[in-house]
Amino acid sequence: PPLAVPIVPLYANGWNLTKFGAPTAWASSLGTGAVVAVLDTGGCAAHPDLSGRVLAGWNTASQNTDITDTFGHGTKVAGTVSASTNNSLGVSAIGWGARILPVKITNATDGYASTSNIAAGISWAASRGAHVVNISYDIAGSSIVESAAQQFRSTGGIVIGSAGDTGSDR
Protein backbone atom coordinates (compact mmCIF):
# COMPACT_ATOMS: atom_id res chain seq x y z
CA PRO A 1 0.00 0.00 0.00
CA PRO A 2 1.11 3.60 -0.48
CA LEU A 3 3.21 4.93 2.36
CA ALA A 4 2.29 8.56 1.77
CA VAL A 5 -0.80 10.14 0.25
CA PRO A 6 -0.65 13.88 -0.36
CA ILE A 7 -3.50 16.13 0.66
CA VAL A 8 -4.29 17.94 -2.59
CA PRO A 9 -7.51 18.03 -4.64
CA LEU A 10 -6.04 16.61 -7.85
CA TYR A 11 -4.01 13.73 -6.38
CA ALA A 12 -6.47 11.14 -7.71
CA ASN A 13 -5.89 12.50 -11.23
CA GLY A 14 -2.14 11.83 -10.93
CA TRP A 15 -2.30 8.20 -12.07
CA ASN A 16 1.37 8.40 -13.02
CA LEU A 17 2.52 8.91 -9.42
CA THR A 18 1.31 5.52 -8.21
CA LYS A 19 2.32 3.85 -11.48
CA PHE A 20 6.01 4.59 -10.90
CA GLY A 21 5.92 4.15 -7.13
CA ALA A 22 6.11 7.77 -5.94
CA PRO A 23 4.16 7.15 -2.71
CA THR A 24 6.66 4.50 -1.67
CA ALA A 25 9.62 6.72 -2.62
CA TRP A 26 8.19 9.63 -0.61
CA ALA A 27 8.65 7.54 2.52
CA SER A 28 12.41 7.78 1.91
CA SER A 29 12.81 11.22 0.35
CA LEU A 30 10.82 14.23 -0.75
CA GLY A 31 13.74 15.67 -2.69
CA THR A 32 14.58 18.22 -0.01
CA GLY A 33 17.73 20.11 -0.92
CA ALA A 34 17.73 19.02 -4.56
CA VAL A 35 17.95 21.63 -7.30
CA VAL A 36 16.23 20.60 -10.52
CA ALA A 37 16.89 22.68 -13.62
CA VAL A 38 13.82 22.69 -15.84
CA LEU A 39 14.90 23.51 -19.39
CA ASP A 40 11.69 24.52 -21.10
CA THR A 41 9.52 27.46 -22.19
CA GLY A 42 10.11 29.39 -18.97
CA GLY A 43 8.50 29.30 -15.57
CA CYS A 44 5.91 31.16 -13.56
CA ALA A 45 7.34 31.72 -10.08
CA ALA A 46 4.08 33.42 -9.05
CA HIS A 47 2.03 30.25 -9.55
CA PRO A 48 0.52 29.31 -6.14
CA ASP A 49 1.89 25.76 -6.28
CA LEU A 50 5.41 27.03 -7.13
CA SER A 51 5.60 29.93 -4.72
CA GLY A 52 8.91 29.90 -2.84
CA ARG A 53 10.29 26.98 -4.87
CA VAL A 54 11.63 28.79 -7.93
CA LEU A 55 15.19 30.10 -7.97
CA ALA A 56 16.47 32.90 -10.20
CA GLY A 57 16.63 31.55 -13.73
CA TRP A 58 18.15 32.28 -17.11
CA ASN A 59 16.91 32.68 -20.68
CA THR A 60 19.43 31.12 -23.07
CA ALA A 61 17.53 32.40 -26.12
CA SER A 62 17.80 36.06 -25.04
CA GLN A 63 20.82 35.81 -22.75
CA ASN A 64 18.95 37.50 -19.91
CA THR A 65 16.94 36.75 -16.78
CA ASP A 66 13.47 36.97 -18.40
CA ILE A 67 12.02 33.51 -17.76
CA THR A 68 8.39 34.48 -18.46
CA ASP A 69 6.64 31.33 -19.65
CA THR A 70 5.26 32.30 -23.05
CA PHE A 71 3.90 28.83 -23.86
CA GLY A 72 2.88 27.44 -20.43
CA HIS A 73 4.69 24.12 -20.77
CA GLY A 74 7.62 25.00 -18.52
CA THR A 75 5.34 25.95 -15.63
CA LYS A 76 3.49 22.63 -15.96
CA VAL A 77 6.76 20.68 -15.95
CA ALA A 78 8.02 22.63 -12.93
CA GLY A 79 4.79 21.76 -11.12
CA THR A 80 5.22 18.09 -11.93
CA VAL A 81 8.72 18.23 -10.49
CA SER A 82 8.21 20.34 -7.38
CA ALA A 83 4.73 21.77 -6.81
CA SER A 84 3.92 22.49 -3.19
CA THR A 85 2.25 19.34 -1.91
CA ASN A 86 0.09 18.73 1.15
CA ASN A 87 -1.17 22.30 0.88
CA SER A 88 -4.75 21.47 -0.20
CA LEU A 89 -4.12 23.17 -3.57
CA GLY A 90 -3.67 21.80 -7.07
CA VAL A 91 -1.45 18.82 -7.75
CA SER A 92 1.16 16.54 -6.20
CA ALA A 93 4.78 16.77 -7.27
CA ILE A 94 7.41 14.10 -7.60
CA GLY A 95 9.92 15.98 -5.43
CA TRP A 96 7.94 18.02 -2.89
CA GLY A 97 11.08 19.43 -1.31
CA ALA A 98 13.09 20.19 -4.44
CA ARG A 99 13.72 23.68 -5.78
CA ILE A 100 13.33 24.64 -9.43
CA LEU A 101 16.05 26.37 -11.43
CA PRO A 102 14.14 27.57 -14.52
CA VAL A 103 16.06 27.78 -17.77
CA LYS A 104 14.06 29.25 -20.63
CA ILE A 105 15.44 27.74 -23.83
CA THR A 106 13.06 29.37 -26.31
CA ASN A 107 11.27 32.62 -27.00
CA ALA A 108 9.17 31.08 -29.78
CA THR A 109 5.42 31.24 -29.20
CA ASP A 110 5.08 27.67 -30.47
CA GLY A 111 7.57 26.41 -27.87
CA TYR A 112 10.19 25.10 -30.30
CA ALA A 113 13.80 25.37 -29.07
CA SER A 114 17.20 25.04 -30.71
CA THR A 115 19.66 22.39 -29.61
CA SER A 116 22.29 25.08 -29.06
CA ASN A 117 20.00 26.84 -26.53
CA ILE A 118 19.33 23.50 -24.83
CA ALA A 119 23.06 22.74 -24.57
CA ALA A 120 23.72 26.25 -23.23
CA GLY A 121 20.98 25.68 -20.66
CA ILE A 122 22.60 22.47 -19.45
CA SER A 123 25.93 24.24 -19.04
CA TRP A 124 24.33 27.21 -17.27
CA ALA A 125 22.46 24.88 -14.87
CA ALA A 126 25.69 23.02 -14.09
CA SER A 127 27.43 26.30 -13.25
CA ARG A 128 24.59 27.13 -10.84
CA GLY A 129 24.78 23.89 -8.86
CA ALA A 130 21.83 21.98 -10.30
CA HIS A 131 21.69 18.31 -9.33
CA VAL A 132 19.24 17.30 -12.06
CA VAL A 133 18.48 18.71 -15.50
CA ASN A 134 15.05 17.97 -16.94
CA ILE A 135 14.55 18.56 -20.67
CA SER A 136 10.99 17.88 -21.81
CA TYR A 137 11.91 17.99 -25.47
CA ASP A 138 12.80 15.31 -28.01
CA ILE A 139 16.58 15.70 -28.01
CA ALA A 140 17.55 12.30 -29.44
CA GLY A 141 20.45 12.43 -31.86
CA SER A 142 21.76 15.88 -30.95
CA SER A 143 25.52 15.70 -30.52
CA ILE A 144 25.72 19.20 -29.00
CA VAL A 145 23.12 18.33 -26.34
CA GLU A 146 24.75 14.94 -25.71
CA SER A 147 28.14 16.60 -25.19
CA ALA A 148 26.72 19.11 -22.69
CA ALA A 149 24.83 16.31 -20.92
CA GLN A 150 27.99 14.18 -20.65
CA GLN A 151 29.85 17.13 -19.14
CA PHE A 152 27.02 17.63 -16.61
CA ARG A 153 26.97 13.92 -15.74
CA SER A 154 30.74 13.97 -15.20
CA THR A 155 30.12 16.33 -12.27
CA GLY A 156 27.67 13.88 -10.72
CA GLY A 157 24.49 15.36 -12.18
CA ILE A 158 21.60 13.54 -13.78
CA VAL A 159 20.10 14.57 -17.12
CA ILE A 160 16.57 13.53 -18.03
CA GLY A 161 15.44 13.94 -21.64
CA SER A 162 12.00 13.34 -23.06
CA ALA A 163 11.31 11.06 -25.98
CA GLY A 164 8.67 13.52 -27.18
CA ASP A 165 4.93 13.21 -27.49
CA THR A 166 4.81 10.94 -30.50
CA GLY A 167 3.94 7.82 -28.54
CA SER A 168 6.93 5.92 -29.90
CA ASP A 169 9.47 4.04 -27.83
CA ARG A 170 13.19 4.70 -28.21
| DSSP string for residues in 6-30 | ---TTGGG-HHHHHTTHHHHHTT--
What pTM was estimated for this model as a whole? 0.90
Give the contacts of 91 (CB within 8 A, at least 6 positions apart).
Answer: 8, 10, 11, 13, 14, 49, 79, 80, 83, 85
Q: Are 133 and 102 in contact (CB under 8 A)?
A: no
Can you give the pLDDT at residue 50?
A: 92
More confident of the two residues 13 and 132:
132
How far apart are alpha carbons 71 and 47 in whole angstroms? 14
Residue positions counted in the chain: 170
pLDDT of 3 strictly over 70: no
pLDDT of 114 strictly over 90: yes
pLDDT of 99 strictly over 80: yes
pLDDT of 1 strictly over 50: no
Q: How would residue 167 be classed by pLDDT, with cut points 50, 70 and 90?
A: low
Can you give the pLDDT at residue 67?
A: 97
- Classified as helix, coil or strand, 98 is coil
